């Protein structure tokens, strides 16, 4: 039962963090750092105290940023 709870908590954390860098870089002003393409990936690889956690989010942000390429092309740089 204990292993099941650990697996459930890990799965919930992964789902809640999925594409986090992509969402933050597009919604919070100043977090996109002027990047037009793949701002979530660039947000994930920045230097900071949470870098270890954001590296975990990197593959999910890569997928989300790829899906949002048409939006990025239309929107322009995220300032």
The two three-digit tokens of residue 5, written as one number? 């709870």
Give the domain extent around 12: 2-75
Confidence band of 16 (pLDDT split at 50, 70, 90)? low
pLDDT for 55: 77
Helix (H) or strand (E) holding 3: helix 2-17
The residues, ordered by sequence, that sit 6+ positions from 78 with a Cβ below 8 Å of its Cβ are 25, 26, 31, 32, 33, 34, 35, 36, 39
Confidence band of 43 (pLDDT split at 50, 70, 90)? confident
DSSP state of 36: S
User: Could you give the number of structural domains in the chain?
Assistant: 1
Q: Quick one: what percent of the chain has pLDDT higher than 90?
A: 1
């Amino acid at each position: 039962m204990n292993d099941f709870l650990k697996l459930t908590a890990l799965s919930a954390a992964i789902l809640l963090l999925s594409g986090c860098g992509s969402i933050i870089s597009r919604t919070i002003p100043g977090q996109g750092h002027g990047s037009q393409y793949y701002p979530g990936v660039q947000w994930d690889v920045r230097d900071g105290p949470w870098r270890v956690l954001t590296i975990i989010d990197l593959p999910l942000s890569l997928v989300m940023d790829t899906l949002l390429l048409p939006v990025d092309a239309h929107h322009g740089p995220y300032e």
